[in-house]
Structure 1
Amino acid sequence: IVDVTDRRMAEKAASEGQQRLELVIEGGRIGTWDWYPQTNAVVFNEYWAELLGYRLDEIEQSIEAWSTRVHPDDMAKCQADLQAHVEGRTQFYQNVHRMRHRDGHWVYILDRGKVVERDAEGNVYRFSGTHTDITEQKRAEIEAQEASRSKGRFLARMSHEIRTPLNGVIGVTQLLERTPLNPEQDEYVRTIRSSGEGLLKIINDILDFSRIEAGQIEFESSPFSPVRELESIVALFQERAYGKGLRLALQVGEGVPSHVSGDAHRIRQVILNLVSNAIKFTDKGEVAVRVSAEPLPDFLVLPASPSADETQGSEVARSGRSLSGTFQRVSGRQGKTVILRIEVSDTGKGIDNFDAIWRDFGQEDASISRRYGGTGLGLPISRQLVELMSGRLEVESEISVGSRFVVSIPLPSVEALEETRERRSGPSLKGLRILVAEDNPVNQLVIGRMLQRLGIEVHIAEDGLEAVSLCDSDSFDFVLMDIHMPGIDGIEATRRILAGTERPPVVIGVSADVMEENRARCEEAGIVEMVSKPLRFDELTRKLQQHLPAVRARRAA
C-alpha cells in the first residue's frame, strides 16, 4: 500500500496554480511566448496574436514572427536588453518597443521575460515571457509630454512679454538711483523699483516651479564665500527690517570655510526667500541669520535626488518639526566636504499649519495671502532646490514665539582665494567697445546708459542682420545679443558673426526667455553667457568682468 495523498495534493495545487495563471493571462489579455534560441522556434498563445490583429494559426511559430514586426528604430535596444539578460547582467529582460499591427498602425508593447532553462554547456535553451499592450498608456504619456512642452512654450512667451517691459522699468529706476534726487523723488523711485521687483519675483517663482516640475533645473559649481554672500543678503534687507523696527543680524560660527564650491546663486535664492519671509511675518523683535559648518563624516555621502513621489509632500511631525531630505550612509567618502548650515530665525507669529506651507501655491490660510501677498511657491521651491543640491531643509516653530528654518547642504571646501583690490572691485571696463544688438528702443537706452557709466564705447544694432554687418566692418570686444529679434534671431546672428570674423567678439546673450532648452541652443551657437532681463547693473558688470580675460587674449593674438 502506497500513500499518495501528498502527491495528489501537490498535483492539485499545481493544477489550481495553472488555472489561476490562465485566468490572469485571460483576464489581463496578456500575450505569452516561449522562445527556444537554439532552433529559433517560438510558441505563442492566442492573445499574443490578437494583440497584433491576427489569429494564432496565422502567425508563424518562429522568432521572425516577432522580429519582422518590431519597429526598426526599436530593434537595437531590444537586442541590447536581451543580451544583457542572457549574460546575467539583469535579473529580468524588460523592454518597451513598437510592433506593427495587422492594419498598419504601431502598437506599444511591454515585453518582459526571463531565461528559464539552459543546457549542460550553459547556453540558453528556453526563454519565456509576456507581451502587454500599453498603447493607451504611452499615448497618455506622449500627450502629457506635449502638454508639458506647450506649457513650457507658454511660460517662455509669457516670460518674454512681461520681462521685456520690466527691463525698461527696473533698468531706468537703476539709472535714476545713480542721479541726484531729492528725498521725495528718491522715495518714488524706490517704490517703482520695489513694485517691479515684486512682479519679477512672481514671474521667477512660476518659472522655477515649472522647471523643477519638468526636471530642467541645472546647478553650477564654482568657488564662493558663504560669509560674503550672507553679508550681502543681510545688507540688502537691513532697510526693510529697520523700517519695521526689527533687528537683523548675521552671526558666523567657528569652522566656516572661507570658500566652498557650489551653486551660490541657488543657495542665495533660498536664503533670500527665508529672510524675506522672516521679515514679512515678524512685527517685533529680531531676525537672525546664523552660519556654521562641520566636517562631513567619512561614512556619509550625498543622497540621490528625491523621486517625484518623495517630493510631493514634506514629512511633517506632529511635534511641530518638519524635515525634508536626508543623508545616506556608505563607506569610503573622500575629500574635504563640510555640511554648511544656515539658520534663519525670527520672533514672529509662528507656524500653525506645517502641511500648508510646503504645498505648491499653499499658504497657512486665505488671510495670509490677503495680508501679505505672494504666490505660496517660495518655500516649496526652496525645499526642492535644497534637496536637489543633496541637502535638507528643516523648520521648527512655536506659535507666538517664532520660527527657525535650517538649511544644511554638503559642500566641498576649497582653498581661500587670494583677493587683490582689483578682484574685489573687478577690473576696469573703461575703453571697451561693445555692440548692443537689441530691437527695443527702451532696452537700447537702458543697456546703453548702463555701459556708458562704465566708460564703455557703445554701438547699437537694431536687428540681427545689422549686428552681423557691423561685426563684418568693425571690431568689437563684446556683443550683447538679444536672442529674439526680427529678421534673423540672435542665435543665427551669433553663428554668422563667429564664423565670419577673423577675431570674433565675445558674445553674451540677453533675453527675457530663460527656459533651459533655449539656453542650450544659445550655448551651441557660441554664446558664452546668458543674462536674463531685466538687466541688473551689478550683474551685467560682473559678467563683463568675468569674460574680460578672453577679450584680452583676443587682443594679444
Structure 2
Amino acid sequence: MPTRISNENLAALLNVGSHLSLFIWEDAPGWPVRFVSDNIQDLLGYKKTRLESHEIQYRDLINQDDLPRVMEEVNSLLSKESGSSLTHQDYRVKHAKGHDVWVSDTTVLLRYEDGKNHLYGYLIDVTERKQLQIALEMERNRLQLILDATRLGTWEWNPQTGVTIFNQRWASMFGWDVCELETNVESWSSRLHPEDYDDVWQAIKNHLDGVTPFYESLHRIRHRDGHWVYVLDRGKIIERDNQGRAIRYTGTVTDVTEQKKAELNALKAAHAKNVFLANMSHEIRTPLHGILGIASVLESTDLNPYQQQLLGTIKNSGDYLLTTLNDVLDLTQAEEGQLKVKRGVHSPAKVLGHVIQLFEQPVKDKGLEFIIDIDADIPERTLMDRARIAQVISNLVSNALKFTERGSIAIKASWEVDSEKQSEGDLIVKVQDTGVGIYDTQRIWQLFEQEQDGLNRPEGGSGLGLAIVRNLVQLLSGTIQVDSEPEQGSCFTLCIPMSVQSESAHQPEQNVLPKLTKKQVLVVDDNKINQLIIKEMLLSLNQYVDLVSDAHNALKMMQARDYDVLFMDLHMPHMDGMEATRALRDMHIHQPYVIALTADAYPETRTQALRSGMDDYVTKPFVKADIARVLERFDMLLSRKPTD
C-alpha cells in the first residue's frame, strides 16, 4: 500500500500561487473532491469547504462540451492495470461567477488495497494563454478564408539557404500538386518566362537592397501544360538575422491572366482603331490637299473681289475640315493630356464672324432663322487659340443645324470681366436652337455616342462632334454646359478664359512669307495634282523646280545633277520615300536637304521618316506658307554651318 502523504504537506509542497491548485478526487460518480488546496477560491471562486463537503461535485463544473472528452481520458487511465498519470487536453471549468476558466490538468492514479482509487492532480489556470491561442487560430482561419476567397497562392523564401516553400494554391495555379514541387528557388525561377526573367529578379533585388519598400512584379509563369499564366507577385522581407541579412522573404501570387488578356485585347482594338484612323486620315488628306493647294495657288493670281470672296469660302471650309480631321486624330492624345494649346493674339469677334460666314448659307438653305447677337464690348485683341475655339463653336452650330428642322439657331456672345484683374475675362458664347432637344445630356459627350441609334435617326454623323468639344474645352481650361428639354430645343453655354492684349503687345505677322535664297529643288511625287500644287508654290517662292514621278528616276536625276532640296512623297509604288532616302544616303553624291511630303499625320510615321535619313517633314494638306517655312529652316541651317 502506498505511503499516505498528509494533505497539509502536499498543500505546502505545491503552494506556488493562485494559478495552480492541488486536487484529490475519488473515483466515484461525480468525482467528489477529497482535498483541494486553499487557493481554490482564487482560481475558481468557490470556497474550499463547499468542494470538500461534496456540496459541489467536480464533474458538474466541467463544461458540457468538454466533459465527454475528459471522461474518456479518465476511463482510459483507470483501465490500465498499474498506476499511471495523464495530462488532459485543456478544458473549461465553470467559475463561481459564471464564466469559464481554461485549465491544464495533470492527474496521477493511486490504487489502494481496499480497492478504492484516488485521483491526485493539479489544475493550472491557462485562460490567458488559451485565449491567445484561440485568437491566433481564428486569425489563421480568417487569413485562410481570405486566401481562399481571393485565390492567392503564397510562398516563402530564405535568400541565404535558397529554401522556398509554396502552398497548395500556388502549386494548383500552375497545374501541380505541392508535393511535386522542389523546395528551392530554382523550382520557381525555372518556370519564369525568358522575357520577364531579368526584370523579375531586378525587382526582387531592389527590395533586398532596400531600394523599394516591397517587392511587386507582373510577369508570366509556365503552366504544367505549357501555356503561360500572368501573375501579380507581391512580397516583403519579414525577418533578418543578426547581420541584417534577409532570412524570410514571403509573399502572395494572384492569377491575373483574364485581366491581362482583356488589356491585350483592348490594346489590339486600340491599334486597329489607330490603323483605321491613319488610313482614313491619308485618304481624306489627299483630296483635301488638292483643294487647299489649288486654292493657295489661285490666291497668288489676279482675282476680282467676288472671286476672292469665293476663294476665301473654299479656304475657310477646307481649313475647318482639316482642323476637324486633326482633332479626330488627336482625341486619344487629348485624353492622355498630350495636346498642346497654340495661343496667339486674335479678335474673338472675327473668329465668330468666320464661323457665322461658314454657316450662313446652310442655315438659310434649311429655312431657319439665324440670330446673331455679338456684344460690342468684347475685346478686339485677346490671347487665344483661334483654331481650337473656332472648332468648338463650329461643332456646336453644326450640331444645332443637324437637329433643328424649324425655328431658329442663335449665336450670342458676350464678355465677362474678371473682378480682380481687368485684363482678364471670360468669353461667353451661347449656341441655342429650337430643335428636338436632348433626353440624356450625359451620353452626348461620349465618343461615338448619339441620342438615337439605328438607321432611322433624324440625322447622320459620326458621334465625334461633342466628344471633340468636351476635350477641347478642357484643353482650353474652359467650361461647357447644356440646358435642354425634349422637343423644346437646346442651349450650349461655352465659357473660355482669356487675357486682353494691348496694341503694343508684340505679335508676329502671320501672313508675311520669309525671304528665301534661290535653290535647286527636286520634287518626287506620283500624283500629278500634288506636283502641280507644289511646283506653283515653289515657283512663286522664286525657286528652281524639277519634277519626277517615282523614286528610281529621282535617284538617277540626283546622280546627274546637284540638288539643294528634295521634296519626297512617302507613299509611292515600287520604292517608297523612306526606302529611297536610305538608298540616297548611301550614294557618294552631293547630299540634299530631304523633306518628307505625306498625308500621314501620325507621330510614329514622322519618327520613322527622320530615322530613314530625312531632314524635315511636311504634312498634307499644306499651303505656300508651310513650304516657305521649311525652306527657311534649311536656310537657317546653312547659315550656321562653318565656311571652308
SS at match of 1:73: coil
Q: Shift in Å at residue 63 of structure 1?
A: 1.5
Q: Shift in Å at residue 126 of structure 1?
A: 1.4
| Kept after mapping to 2: 8 A contact 1:31/1:51 | yes
Per-residue CA deviations over 1:333-379 (Å, capped at 9, x if unaligned) read xxxxx998554334545975531331223355689x97776433123
Choose which of 339, 356, 359 in structure 1 pairs with 2:443.
356
Per-residue CA deviations over 1:103-127 (Å, capped at 9, x if unaligned) read 4443322211222233455432312
Choose which of 272, 287, 292 in structure 1 pairs with 2:411.
287
Choose which of 480, 492, 503 in structure 2 pairs with 1:394.
480
| Kept after mapping to 2: 8 A contact 1:238/1:248 | no
CA change 1:366–1:125 in 2 (3 A) is closer
Give the match for residue 142 of structure 1: 264
Choose which of 16, 32, 47 in structure 1 pairs with 2:169.
47
Give distance in 2, aligned partners of 1:286 and 1:9: 78
Q: What is the aligned length?
A: 503
Q: Shift in Å at residue 34 of structure 1?
A: 1.0
Give distance in 2, aligned partners of 1:295 and 1:157: 49
Per-residue CA deviations over 1:394-449 (Å, capped at 9, x if unaligned) read 3264777943212359x9x9xx985677x761313474443222111222222223
Give the match for residue 193 of structure 2: 71
Give distance in 1, aligned partners of 2:318 and 2:344: 29
Give the match for residue 239 of structure 1: 357
Give distance in 2, aligned partners of 1:234 and 1:502: 53
1:344 maps onto 2:429 in alignment: yes
**Which has the higher relative contact order, 1 or 2, with Cα contacts under 8 A spaced 6 or more apart?**
1
Show the 5 A alignment for 1:125-140: 125-140=247-262
| Kept after mapping to 2: 8 A contact 1:434/1:459 | yes
CA change 1:496–1:181 in 2 (3 A) is same
1:116 maps onto 2:205 in alignment: no
Give the match for residue 184 of structure 2: 62
Q: Shift in Å at residue 489 of structure 1?
A: 1.7
Give the match for residue 492 of structure 1: 579
Give the match for residue 309 of structure 1: none
Q: Shift in Å at residue 77 of structure 1?
A: 1.8
Q: Shift in Å at residue 44 of structure 1?
A: 0.9
1:451 maps onto 2:538 in alignment: yes
Choose which of 259, 273, 293 in structure 2 pairs with 1:171.
293
SS at match of 1:403: strand
CA change 1:542–1:459 in 2 (3 A) is same
| Kept after mapping to 2: 8 A contact 1:508/1:531 | yes
Per-residue CA deviations over 1:184-231 (Å, capped at 9, x if unaligned) read 988987887788677656654543345557x5x744577x42436x57
Q: Shift in Å at residue 45 of structure 1?
A: 1.4
| Kept after mapping to 1: 8 A contact 2:409/2:434 | no
| Kept after mapping to 1: 8 A contact 2:524/2:550 | yes
Per-residue CA deviations over 1:494-531 (Å, capped at 9, x if unaligned) read 34445657764443322222223212212333545443
Per-residue CA deviations over 1:54-101 (Å, capped at 9, x if unaligned) read 332332211222223223332332233223334555444210112233
Give the match for residue 34 of structure 1: 156
Give distance in 2, aligned partners of 1:292 and 1:80: 57
Give the match for residue 18 of structure 2: none
SS at match of 1:354: coil
Show the 5 A alignment for 1:329-478: 342-346=427-431, 348-349=433-434, 352=438, 353-363=440-450, 374-387=461-474, 389=475, 391-395=477-481, 397=483, 402-408=491-497, 418=506, 425-429=512-516, 431-478=518-565
CA change 1:408–1:192 in 2 (3 A) is closer
Show the 5 A alignment for 1:183-222: 203-204=325-326, 206-209=328-331, 218-220=338-340
Q: Which amino acid aligns with 1:406?
A: C
TM-score normalised over the length of structure 2: 0.64
| Kept after mapping to 2: 8 A contact 1:93/1:114 | yes
Unmatched 5+ residue regions in structure 1? 298-337
Show the 5 A alignment for 1:243-282: 246-247=371-372, 249=374, 269-270=391-392, 273=395
| Kept after mapping to 1: 8 A contact 2:517/2:635 | no
Give distance in 1, aligned partners of 2:142 and 2:537: 77
TM-score normalised over the length of structure 1: 0.72
| Kept after mapping to 1: 8 A contact 2:155/2:170 | yes
| Kept after mapping to 1: 8 A contact 2:522/2:566 | yes
Give distance in 1, aligned partners of 2:473 and 2:329: 17
Give distance in 2, aligned partners of 1:508 and 1:249: 44
SS at match of 2:196: helix
SS at match of 1:425: coil
SS at match of 1:16: helix
Choose which of 524, 528, 541 in structure 1 pairs with 2:625.
541
> Which structure has greater helix proportion?
1
Q: Which amino acid aligns with 1:345?
A: K
Give the match for residue 317 of structure 1: none
Per-residue CA deviations over 1:238-296 (Å, capped at 9, x if unaligned) read 52366565547587878x99769xx8866665566457668988976863556789799
Per-residue CA deviations over 1:426-474 (Å, capped at 9, x if unaligned) read 3134744432221112222222233333333322121233334434443
SS at match of 2:448: coil
> Which of 426-435 and 34-43 deviates more?
426-435
Q: Shift in Å at residue 33 of structure 1?
A: 0.4
| Kept after mapping to 2: 8 A contact 1:164/1:512 | yes
Q: Shift in Å at residue 176 of structure 1?
A: 4.8
1:509 maps onto 2:596 in alignment: yes
The percent identity for this pair of structures is 34
CA change 1:491–1:51 in 2 (3 A) is same
Give distance in 2, aligned partners of 1:294 and 1:550: 45
Give distance in 2, aligned partners of 1:503 and 1:344: 56
SS at match of 1:404: strand
1:225 maps onto 2:344 in alignment: yes
| Kept after mapping to 1: 8 A contact 2:518/2:543 | yes
> Which of 28-37 and 270-279 deviates more?
270-279
CA change 1:107–1:241 in 2 (3 A) is closer
Per-residue CA deviations over 1:35-68 (Å, capped at 9, x if unaligned) read 1223221111123233333332332211222223
SS at match of 1:72: coil
| Kept after mapping to 1: 8 A contact 2:352/2:390 | no
Give the match for residue 638 of structure 2: 554
Per-residue CA deviations over 1:150-189 (Å, capped at 9, x if unaligned) read 3322332233233323333443355456656789988987
Choose which of 458, 473, 481 in structure 1 pairs with 2:568.
481
Give distance in 2, aligned partners of 1:390 and 1:18: 55
Choose which of 519, 532, 537 in structure 1 pairs with 2:606.
519
